[in-house]
Structure 1
Amino acid sequence: MASLRGMRTARARGKFWRTLVGVGVIGLASATLAACGASSGSNAGNAKVTLTLWQNYGTEANATATTNLVTAFEKLDPNIAIKVVAQPASNYFALLQAAAISRSGPDLAVMWTGLFTLQYKSYLQNLKQWVPEADLSRMMGMRWTSPGFNTANGSYVVPLEDQFYIGFYNKALFAKAGISTPPKTWNQLYSDCSKFKSMGVTCLDYGAGSQNLGAEFYPWYDMSYMMIGNYTPAQWEDLYNGKIPWTSPGIVAQFTRWQRLHTDGYTNSNVVTSIGSVVNFQKGKAAMLIKGNWDLAQLYGAMGSNLGTFVPPFSTTPIHGVVQYPGDGYAMTTYSQHKAQAAEFLRFLTTPQAGKIVAASGLIPDVRGVSSGNPVAQQMLAFAAKDGFVKYPMLDNVTAPNVVNAGSKVMPELLDGQVSPGQAASQIEQAWRQLPSSERGSSWGTYKVG
């Protein structure tokens, strides 16, 4: 759910393609696809086919990656063209569902993984018969794209990237405040924030971001870490099935600690209306920011080695979990008239060459064995790979969508002090209780629609 403003300039695109030629991506991709029977030559002699791909990436780096992947694929198979259509993120899924009813939608569509995939699976093509398992096995986290979250049942989505909900911090401001390392607990966070406040610097800046998911900031980045501070990944499943109610004292306590950030003046005052959090952070007006790794390209481009990354410390003991998860990718629609050609593009996404294109676009590739050269991205990957942090999925991707919607509405109000922690918890719990039984089964994989 992973910022660059608009399309790259001609100069940046030129640099990008020189990079691709330098590493041999185009030639290697052609050889790879020819070897596996996809793309090069597979549509030779046929009339040119045009596919449509919908994306909801706004101005973030994922939009750039999509464009670059499509351009590279079209060079590999001139008989297949892909028209990329940018749709508004705020009502993307409603548009996609309406288009599915009329069978007028795209051949390929960006799809969020987890329960989002299962919610919309009625018009998503299971890829089991279209993309070989050998190809899909090159991708990480495929469980979260599968029926019943079991890859033996096939998959609906080929992930674009390995995503993080993560914190960023300004190293220069930390040094100026005499803070050597980022905080790891609530109390350390409060202590650090008090130092930044005395310096006239916002400790944590909140505001709507590059995803354009709504007029307010998206609270599920923070919510994920509040629940990491309380529960194991297995216990998160109990948030889904109701064994742990959202009104539990531990959750209300986490909400109370989180609200204190605003009450004590550690955030910007306009948390509900701000749209400038990323820019404020880049300009040194804020010490920390909690977003997704899809904002890394923009932040690193502006801040360079002054940019650091940390795990949001929303825990009474040292935080030891990190959100690392294939949060989105591309799916084929059931009503596509060009499934063979759409499958070729999906197979291309599983190649190391496609992974290098994703990395060159500022993201962390999901293809096994292909990594990002960005040092901050490497720091993110090290949390689990070297420091032993437990990997968690994105909480909003494994929580019923109507519960996510309720949280998205009330949590900004909670931080702003408009509602109490208990009231916020009650509204989220009420949304869960109103779900049909099919949307709150015993486990994530039992989620069904209708």
Structure 2
Amino acid sequence: MRFKTILTAAVSSVIVLALAACSGSSGTKEGSGANGDSSKQKVNIVFWNTGYPTVDENNKSKKKEDFYIYQAIKRYETAHPEVSIEVQDVPSGDELFTKFQTAGIAKNGPDMTVIWSGTYMLRFKQFLEPLSGYFTPEEKSRIVGWDAGTEGFKEGGEVYGVPFSTDGTFGLLYNKKILADAGVDLEAHPLKNFNDFEEMLLKIKSKGVTPLGLKDPDTFYHIPNYWIAQTVGSAGLEDLVSGKKNFSDPQLVPIIKAWNDMYAKDLVISDQSDQSLQLFYQGQVAMVAGGNGAIANARKALGDDLGMMKVPDFNDQVLIHDGGVGGVGATFVVTNYSKKKQEAVDFIKFLMSKEEQVNKIESGEAGLSVVKDVDVSQMASEPLILEQQEWANEPSTIFWPDNVYPAELTSEISSLQSLAMTGKMTAEEFMGKIDQKRDELLKSSR
């Protein structure tokens, strides 16, 4: 009887515990799915944001929830309650590259980020998830600029980056009033070549105004590098990278000499910050290098006095006329060590959807689009944004040369360009150093 009583008690205890377990599974626990399924843990996607603005320099009181990316995330999380998106703002460029490299080695980086396209992105291929299999032909067909995120920059290569946005065609923004005071009318007398460009800058300087404001080393890739690209053509850029053609070619050295001449004549102010851009907004600098991203703030600052032009041809002998550098300058990437690859891709697809591309443009935070099913002209009232969209689709726009060069070669150019611009290194020496670095890279890759 004693044994039977103990056995009965033990069985009863098991039944009670089992019932308690069943009862617990019917409630919603923290981290459970929307329908109370505890097997579905909430997925948290870490997004290193380098491409969407979250600070308004002209309105520091603007809250994060007022920016497009946070509004988009709220819409996504509402539609997908099992997913949360954690945004971590990270500066782009060299700071991101260092941080991303370190995180990749440790496998503790983001699930996704936005990184500069071309060789900037491909240098991290060991940390990137191949994305070709995640997109159907139909999904890819509505987005332009896939080459910028594809190995080999052509169809058939493995895709590692989804086009984030187009930067249009990099040109020059200018203050119409300052130019008019200097007797310059670009609409009546457009600039044909570098000589015209320098003559215009000299006229502006004679009025006591700083003619041109630049950001180093970025602007080197937007202006003199464009002159190099338009002189040799797209195939010539590949020849420069492969060693079939040299940067020190007598056809190209005069470009660096001309660029240096502008500095020697005190026609330029430059540094590694956005100081020149702020001075432009304040009417103290006549012209800055800029793309579509600077138009909105420039319009607020200058109103009807804001003008825009393409970088003039270097000379009449160039192979590509009336263009500029541009295209898809950044791509979405997913890390191959992420445990939420599909969820990250799904979020990218959401951001690239027609509805979200419309929302993004209507926010005023980005004027151009890389999707074919959105007509920017129906939404954007800013005429310079519309002009940028037209420029971006012109065959004279050359894909960013620095996105084509090996990353190490770009770094070498960045580190040496200030010496060439300030005359501490001759144009011949500068171009020779680039050739030397290129040859070292070619030799090490064999």
TM-score by length of 2: 0.79
Please tell me the residue identity of whatever aligns with 2:327: Y
Note closer, same or farther for the CA distance 1:133–1:304 as it changes in structure 2 (3 Å cut): farther
- Aligned residue number for residue 229 of structure 2: 228
Of 100, 103, 117, the residue aligned with 1:113 is 117
Q: Measure, in 1, the Cα distance between the counterparts of 2:116 and 2:207.
A: 40
1:330–1:346 contact (8 Å) kept in structure 2: yes
Q: Is this contact kept in 2: 1:160–1:349, CA < 8 A? A: no
- SS of 1:231's equivalent? helix
Equivalence for 2:81: 78
CA–CA distance in structure 2, aligned partners of residues 249 and 309 of structure 1: 32
Deviation at 1:376, TM superposition (A): 0.9
> Within 2, Cα distance between the matches of 1:206 and 1:105?
33
Shift of 1:69: 3.9
Count of aligned pairs: 387
- Alpha-carbon contact 2:229-2:401 (below 8 Å) kept: no
Residues 156-235 of structure 1 mapped to structure 2, 5 A cutoff:
156-163=160-167, 164-181=169-186, 182-207=190-215, 218-235=219-236
Report how far residue 142 of structure 1 moved.
0.4
Letter in 1 for 2:172: G
**1:59 offset after TM fit, Å?**
6.3
- What amino acid does structure 2 have at the position aligned with 1:55? N
Matched AA of 1:150: K
CA distance in 2, matches of 1:331, 1:379: 29
Confirm or deny: 8 A CA contact 2:111 2:340 kept in the other structure. Answer: yes
Matched with 2:106 is 102
| 1:404 to 2:410 alignment | yes
Matched, 1:262 2:263: yes
What's the counterpart of residue 32 of structure 1?
A: none
User: Taking structure 1 as reference, are residues 165 and 100 closer, same or farther at Cα in structure 2, changes over 3 Å only?
Assistant: same
In the superposition, relative to structure 1, how do residues 299 and 75 fare at CA in structure 2: closer, same or farther (>3 Å)? farther
Query: 2:338 and 2:273 mapped to 1: Cα distance?
Result: 40
Distance 1:92 1:118 in 2: 14
Checking the alignment, whether the CA contact within 8 Å between 1:109 and 1:332 is kept in structure 2 is: yes
Contact between 1:252 and 1:421, CA under 8 Å: does it hold in 2?
Answer: yes
Q: Which residue of 2 aligns with 1:213?
A: none
Q: Which amino acid aligns with 1:180?
A: D
Hey, what's the Cα distance between the residues in 2 that align with 1:148 and 1:58? 27
Superposition deviation, residue 185 in structure 1: 1.0
> Which 5+ residue runs of structure 1 have no aligned equivalent?
1-42, 209-215, 441-450
| Amino acid in structure 1 at the alignment position of 2:236 | Q
> Shift of residue 61 of structure 1?
8.4
Q: Which has the larger Rg?
A: 2
- Label 1:384 to 1:158 Cα distance change in 2 as closer, same or farther (>3 A): closer
The CA distance in 2 between the partners of 1:175 and 1:161, in whole Å, is 34
Q: Which residue of 1 aligns with 2:46?
A: 52
Residue deviations 1:301-321 (CA, integer Å, cap 9, x gap): 322332222111251128422
Deviation, 1:333, is: 0.8
User: C-alpha separation between the residues in 2 aligned to 1:291 and 1:160?
Assistant: 19
8 Å CA contact 1:220–1:408 kept in 2: the answer is: no
- What does residue 19 of structure 2 align with? none
One-letter code of the match for 1:286? Answer: V
Q: Which residue of 2 aligns with 1:11?
A: none
Determine whether 1:285 maps to 2:291.
no
Once the two structures are TM-superposed, the CA of residue 91 in structure 1 deviates from its matched residue by: 2.4
Paired with 1:154 and 1:78, the residues of 2 have a C-alpha distance of 32
Q: 2:390 aligns with which of 377, 382, 389?
A: 382
Distance 2:136 2:104 in 1: 25
**What's the counterpart of residue 310 of structure 2?**
311
Structure 1 residues 229 and 266, CA gap change in structure 2 (3 angstroms):
farther
The residue aligned with 1:355 is 357
**Counterpart contact for 2:100–2:109, Cα < 8 Å:** yes
Q: Closer, same or farther in 2 for the Cα pair 1:367/1:305, shift >3 Å?
A: farther
- In structure 1, C-alpha distance between the alignment counterparts of 2:315 and 2:282, rounded to whole Å: 31
Give the structure 2 partner of residue 326 of structure 1.
Answer: 328
- Partners of 1:438 and 1:65 in 2: CA distance: 45
Contact 2:120/2:407 (8 A) holds in 1 = yes
Shift of 1:438: 7.0
**Which amino acid in 2 is paired with 1:52?**
V
Instruction: Give the aligned partner of residue 37 of structure 1.
Output: none
| Aligned equivalents of 2:238, 2:166: Cα separation in 1 | 22
Q: Does 1:87 align with 2:81?
A: no
Residues 172-209 of structure 1: CA distance to partner in whole angstroms, max 9, x if unpaired? Answer: 2222223221523111102211110111111111235x
Letter in 1 for 2:284: K
Distance 2:153 2:34 in 1: 37
3-state SS of 2:81 partner: coil
Deviations 1:311-334 (A, max 9, x none): 112511284222231110211111
Task: Show the counterpart of 1:427.
Answer: 433
Instruction: Determine whether 1:297 maps to 2:310.
Output: no
Give the corresponding residue for 2:12: none
Contact 1:217–1:412 (CA under 8 A) maintained in structure 2: no
C-alpha separation between the residues in 1 aligned to 2:109 and 2:165?
24
Letter in 2 for 1:299: A
Q: Which amino acid aligns with 1:56?
A: T
SS of the equivalent of 1:169 reads strand
Residues 52 and 69, structure 2, Cα contact 8 Å, conserved in 1: no
Find the counterpart in structure 1 of residue 28 from structure 2. none
Distance 1:123 1:401 in 2: 16
1:443 — aligned with what? none
Give the whole-Å Cα distance in 2 for the aligned partners of 1:326 and 1:67. Answer: 23
- The aligned amino acid for 1:95 is K
User: Contact (CA 8 Å) 2:219, 2:289: kept in 1 or not?
Assistant: no
Give the drift of 1:404: 0.5
Residue 264 of structure 1 deviates from its aligned partner by 1.6
Structure 2's unaligned 5+ residue stretches are 1-32, 57-63
Q: Is the 8 A contact 1:239 1:245 kept in 2?
A: yes
Go from structure 1 to structure 2 and tell me whether the alpha carbon gap of 1:381 and 1:196 turns closer, same or farther (over 3 Å shift). same
RMSD: 2.6
